[in-house]
Amino acid sequence: MKQAVFLDRDGVINEVLSKRVKFVNDANDFHLLDGVAEAIRFFNKAGFLVFVVTNQGGIGLGYMKEKKLERIHEKMEADLKAQGATIDDIAYCPHKPNEGCPCRKPKAYLLKKLADKHHVDLPASVMVGDREPDIRAGQKAGCQTVLVHARTEDDFQADARFPDLRAAVPWIIAQKRAAAR
């Protein structure tokens, strides 16, 4: 079984609610956060699979079409690839908040779906997010959890907390070593 790092997108990989962009509803609104490509390169080199797991309620609310989301993700992958970083797969929930779908975080469906598809050991893997639904989804899937870029003092019982993804790299890499023992 393989190990993975599951990454929320908005607020972990790219800017959101910043001076430059409020929401990412177009590829022109997508801007990588500092250190993200470097962090993902470390995960790639350490042998982790890297997945993006994201709620995209803007589709269900009518703010964007799935075609636009595909372009945003193509830009994300191209921006990362230009810096030597690779995403192995992307899963998203297109439904409105409170729609009751099975795939919206804090439910663990998307993590479990990726784990089944790629033969991932969830207890040996890590979910990284910036909000409570990300941490709860990781916990429900049985992953270790890391809170980054938190906008609150609450850590939602995450296993670790860091100011950003780059700062979380040593802790996450240590999880890889610990599972190998």
- Give pLDDT tens digits for 14-37: 998 788 888 898 999 999 999 999
Evaluate if residue 158 carries a pLDDT over 90. yes
How far apart CA 35 and CA 117 sit, in angstroms, is 28
Evaluate if residue 181 carries a pLDDT over 80. no
Q: Which residue has the tokens 């990300």?
A: 134
Residue 125: predicted pLDDT: 97
Evaluate if residue 178 carries a pLDDT over 80. no
Band the pLDDT of 154: cuts 50, 70, 90.
confident
How far apart CA 103 and CA 153 sit, in angstroms, is 27
Residue 180: predicted pLDDT: 63
Residue 149: predicted pLDDT: 85
Catalytic residue set: 8, 10
Residue 77: predicted pLDDT: 98
How far apart CA 139 and CA 122 sit, in angstroms, is 10
Provide mean pLDDT across the span 80-91. 98
Residue closest to 91 by CA, chosen among 114, 59, 115, 70: 114
With H, G, I as helix, E, B as strand and everything else as coil, classify residue 8.
coil
Beta bridge partners of 89: 51
Do residues 118 and 57 lie in contact, with contact meaning Cβ atoms separated by under 8 Å? no
**Average pLDDT along the chain:** 94
With H, G, I as helix, E, B as strand and everything else as coil, classify residue 133.
helix
Residue 128 has φ and ψ, to the nearest 5°, of -115, 125
Q: What percent of the chain has pLDDT over 90?
A: 82
